[in-house]
Structure 1
Amino acid sequence: MPVLKHLKRLFTDWFLCGMLLATFLAYVFPTFGSTGGAMHAEWVINIGVFLVFFLHGVNLSSEQISHGLKNIRLHLMVQGFTFVVFPLIWVMADKLLGAQLPPLLMLGFFYLCALPSTISSSVALTGSAGGNVPAAILNASLSSVLGIFLTPLLVSFVVGSGTGGIDLGSTLLDLCAMLLLPLVLGQLARPLLGRFFARHKRYTGIADKLVILLLVYAAFCNSMVSGMWQQQGSTVIISAFAGSVLLLAVILWMTTRTARALKFSTADEIAAVFCASKKSLATGAPMAALIFGAHPGLGLILLPIMIYHPLQLIVCSVMAENYASRHRQEAAAQNTVAVPTP
């Protein structure tokens, strides 16, 4: 069965296994990775994040992005869902369920809703499903850049800015220095280094994932040292899982219906659904470290995106196979009609 095949791939994915290992190591060795610990996580992670976003800039093709500029309605839909519809869904959920869930978990769900879309998996799934790849590249890349400014702004609406909240000005400067600057430097270095890193793109992905694992480990170390996990219990994990499943189901239904209501072609529908429903752990983890700092509840804030990430991969992988199968059937039917009968 296709679903079982994707489940097997999910559980043998070294990165997802690494996230489980990182949380376990944080439970066993919490002081090593906490702020001020022997690992010096704050320095190691900052250097790693800068390097990873520089490599993203080197690998980002401006030619492909410019090729995807044509469909304005598609771009508006994707960015609207990413930064408007997702947060509005959270507002409604908070009215209904906010009082029953821990405040930090609700903040974690809002942080998930405020994040930009993924780049690599959105583009890969769009391509495998037979969708509009240039449009997916443009929207995923645009979302990542917009997220540097919009994600902390949206978070400030919930937690406040200034005393007791986040320092929005300082946070934006930090995000520009750690995320936007290396992206720009990577683009400037692309004529010199683009071909070399294109040949070794696999290692860029590995470096990306290793930095995320360090961020997850450090976040959970701080949470363990503060005693936050001991206070919450296992019900918080069940609540985070149930909420992530429900959110993904709602957003996939809404994006699919909206794309069809706008009469998108199948290729544009695929790009819209996969880009508008995804949320980026690769951007979310380093952003959280910059927005929330060494907050003892950072592990709980990151929990929803850590669960949503593998869920979106497996569900969208199944959807991509279904889209591709439908495309093959339509192509076969057209070929049958085109062949004249003797």
Structure 2
Amino acid sequence: MSIEEKDENAFEIVWLGNSSDQIVSEMNIRNKFVNDNQLKEYLIDKIDSSIIVILSSSISFDIQSLIEYSQICAIYDEKFVCLYCLPQMISSVDIYLKNKQLDKIKNKSKQSYLSNILSIIRKYWFLIGLFISILLGYLFPSVGKTGGYIRSEWTVKYGCIIFIFFLSGLSLQTKQLTKEIFHIRLHLLIQIYSLIITPFLVYALSLLLLKTSMNKILIFGVIIMASMSTTSSSNVIMTKNALGNEYAALLNGIVGNILGTFIAPALIFLFMKNPMFDILLKSISIEDRFNYNHVIKKLSLTILLPLFIGQIIHLLWTKKIIYLRDKLYFSQMNGIALLIIVWSVFSTAFSNQSFQTMQKKDLFILILIDTFIYILLSLLILLIARLPIRHWQFSEKDTIAIMFCASMKAVAMGVSLINALYDKESTHITGLLPLPLIIYHALQLIIGAIQCILLKNWIKKKFQKSAKTLKDKNYIQSRYEDKLKTDETQTINVICQ
């Protein structure tokens, strides 16, 4: 044997047994043999080698047949218990295997660390993408700005929005929504709260904000945000994760987007009549001021038309579309398109130095306002849905759907509406107006994730309580039936006597 006594790096490890065992991959053992015959054939060409054999628990045979080979200096089981070792090699083999195990632990910790990072990225990829989009907009504003290299006023603000609603149309499984169509009370509550109560409530709050020194464009951006319909995907995902009625959320996402196309512009025109928002009105061309039909045409082309085309395609080739939806990750593609819109909006804002027209404290206040609005809207609708009134109180699952649908707002529709209101010359306004909506969208994802955990626990506790009650009821019923049988037996015995 050519190996020196203290040369602990000149060994070769081979595996004997089932090659699918975990230890093989963990220690990166290259030479694997299913039986001893294969190993013996291998040893013939390894006369000058020093080999350590690791035996799998899946194989059993007499190790004496291996000891005969001078190349084998040690034999261990898979738990690294020494079964045989040449006396002069004990120290070297021990050091070598310890080093191998340390390497295994290090590799495992690295893999675990990377796995955790990837898990976080997968879970919060949209929020991470949001920061990257803003950063790219700051670093390269001339690329994504309105009138920039890629002509984002067409490619992004129309192309991406059309793409988002087309994907939404493709993804809608309308056949599964038939059972929810007649849940009229739920639909009315969500749509009235989302498209009427919320806009006027936030408008009242905005009137108070107008008395402060806060940027008026941002204030009106908050009003636009509140006037939007619910999202078509985020609310469904959140509802599903919280164990709520996802089909109710899905149906209201569709209905909300259709109704919002007509109601949101009307609300914006109504609120814009306030003289305090003259700066916004002056930026709209005279022929387009309060031109409701003009805005509806633009919104119909970017929202309703692609939505319906996507749905028709889905109905015609349902199985193929479902297959493509799962393979191509429509939901993630939707999110990426939304991030491109955010990038374009911020590129325009940074290019026109729109943020220099606002004070730094305005951004901080805006984040607080959006947070307050979302939490307020969520709690308020939650209380309304659970009012202990006969024939009114909604179930837990329906309440979750109501809460997410009524409090969430769609970014794509908001950007589309702003594009319909203002032409490409009004970049000083279009750079700031979507900001409250973008911040609100990020917040509704962050806070919504926390709400999912709380609401899921609520549903689980309710289920466990119901299960326990049912179990107790069955136990009582069983005891009652046993008592009846006993009484019946005693009665029969008495009669027989």
- In the TM superposition, residue 138 of structure 1 has moved relative to its aligned partner by 1.4
Alignment of 1:162-311 (within 5 A): 163=286, 165=289, 167-201=291-325, 203-261=329-387, 262-294=392-424, 295=426, 296-311=428-443
Asked if structure 1 preserves the Cα contact closer than 8 Å seen for 2:206 and 2:220, the reply is: no
Task: Tell me the secondary structure at the aligned position of residue 150 of structure 2.
Answer: coil
- In the TM superposition, residue 166 of structure 1 has moved relative to its aligned partner by 5.4
Asked if structure 1 preserves the Cα contact closer than 8 Å seen for 2:169 and 2:306, the reply is: yes
- In the TM superposition, residue 57 of structure 1 has moved relative to its aligned partner by 1.1
Residue 77 of structure 1 corresponds to 189
Q: Distance in 1 between matches of 2:195 and 2:317?
A: 33
Asked if structure 2 preserves the Cα contact closer than 8 Å seen for 1:166 and 1:292, the reply is: no
Moved more, 133-142 or 77-86: 133-142
Tell me which amino acid in the other structure corresponds to 1:186: G
- In the TM superposition, residue 26 of structure 1 has moved relative to its aligned partner by 2.2
Cα 1:212–1:336 change in 2 (3 A) is closer
Residue 28 of structure 1 corresponds to 139
Cα 1:318–1:35 change in 2 (3 A) is closer
1:87 equivalenced with 2:196 (yes/no): no
Asked if structure 2 preserves the Cα contact closer than 8 Å seen for 1:216 and 1:299, the reply is: no
Task: Tell me the secondary structure at the aligned position of residue 272 of structure 1.
Answer: helix
Q: Distance in 2 between matches of 1:57 and 1:283?
A: 14
1:102 equivalenced with 2:215 (yes/no): yes
Asked if structure 2 preserves the Cα contact closer than 8 Å seen for 1:22 and 1:213, the reply is: yes
Moved more, 82-91 or 331-340: 331-340
- In the TM superposition, residue 130 of structure 1 has moved relative to its aligned partner by 2.6
Asked if structure 1 preserves the Cα contact closer than 8 Å seen for 2:170 and 2:321, the reply is: yes
Q: Distance in 1 between matches of 2:385 and 2:120?
A: 29
Q: Deviations over 1:23-67 (max 9, x none)?
A: 222222222222222112123122332233222112112223322
Structure 2 residue aligned with 1:156, among 259, 269, 282?
A: 269
Q: Distance in 1 between matches of 2:333 and 2:466?
A: 44
Q: Deviations over 1:217-251 (max 9, x none)?
A: 22222222323212213222101101101111211
Asked if structure 1 preserves the Cα contact closer than 8 Å seen for 2:261 and 2:299, the reply is: yes
Q: Distance in 1 between matches of 2:359 and 2:121?
A: 26
Asked if structure 2 preserves the Cα contact closer than 8 Å seen for 1:240 and 1:303, the reply is: no
Residue 155 of structure 2 corresponds to 44
Moved more, 9-18 or 178-187: 9-18
Tell me which amino acid in the other structure corresponds to 2:210: G
1:61 equivalenced with 2:193 (yes/no): no
Query: Which structure would you say has the larger Rg?
Result: 2
Moved more, 136-145 or 94-103: 94-103
Q: Deviations over 1:53-103 (max 9, x none)?
A: 222112112223322122222111100111111111122212322121211
Alignment of 1:130-141 (within 5 A): 130-141=243-254
Asked if structure 1 preserves the Cα contact closer than 8 Å seen for 2:168 and 2:232, the reply is: no
Q: Deviations over 1:111-165 (max 9, x none)?
A: 1101110122212222222322222221121001111111122111223586284
Root mean square deviation of aligned Cα: 2.4
List gaps (5 residues or longer) in structure 2. 1-115, 274-280, 480-497
Residue 322 of structure 1 corresponds to 454
- In the TM superposition, residue 22 of structure 1 has moved relative to its aligned partner by 2.1
Q: Distance in 1 between matches of 2:345 and 2:179?
A: 39
Q: Distance in 1 between matches of 2:227 and 2:360?
A: 25
Cα 1:103–1:157 change in 2 (3 A) is same
TM-score, normalised via structure 1 length: 0.89
- In the TM superposition, residue 258 of structure 1 has moved relative to its aligned partner by 0.8
Q: Distance in 1 between matches of 2:125 and 2:310?
A: 27
Residue 18 of structure 1 corresponds to 129
Q: Distance in 1 between matches of 2:295 and 2:207?
A: 28
Q: Distance in 1 between matches of 2:237 and 2:138?
A: 34
Structure with larger RCO (C-alpha < 8 A, sep 6+): 1
Q: Distance in 1 between matches of 2:406 and 2:260?
A: 13
Q: Distance in 2 between matches of 1:73 and 1:9?
A: 39
Asked if structure 2 preserves the Cα contact closer than 8 Å seen for 1:209 and 1:282, the reply is: no
- In the TM superposition, residue 10 of structure 1 has moved relative to its aligned partner by 8.7
Q: Distance in 2 between matches of 1:230 and 1:67?
A: 52
Task: Tell me the secondary structure at the aligned position of residue 386 of structure 2.
Answer: helix
Q: How many residues align?
A: 336
Tell me which amino acid in the other structure corresponds to 2:408: K
Moved more, 269-278 or 49-58: 49-58
- Structure with higher strand content: 2
Task: Tell me the secondary structure at the aligned position of residue 433 of structure 2.
Answer: helix
Q: Deviations over 1:291-340 (max 9, x none)?
A: 33433222321111111112222222222222222222232233333332
Task: Tell me the secondary structure at the aligned position of residue 301 of structure 1.
Answer: coil
Q: Deviations over 1:160-207 (max 9, x none)?
A: 586284542222101111211111111221134432332233532233
List gaps (5 residues or longer) in structure 1. none
Q: Distance in 2 between matches of 1:170 and 1:123?
A: 31
1:336 equivalenced with 2:336 (yes/no): no
Asked if structure 1 preserves the Cα contact closer than 8 Å seen for 2:242 and 2:453, the reply is: yes
- In the TM superposition, residue 12 of structure 1 has moved relative to its aligned partner by 6.2
- Structure with higher helix content: 1
Q: Distance in 2 between matches of 1:18 and 1:320?
A: 21
TM-score, normalised via structure 2 length: 0.63
1:119 equivalenced with 2:218 (yes/no): no
- In the TM superposition, residue 104 of structure 1 has moved relative to its aligned partner by 0.3
Asked if structure 2 preserves the Cα contact closer than 8 Å seen for 1:130 and 1:327, the reply is: yes
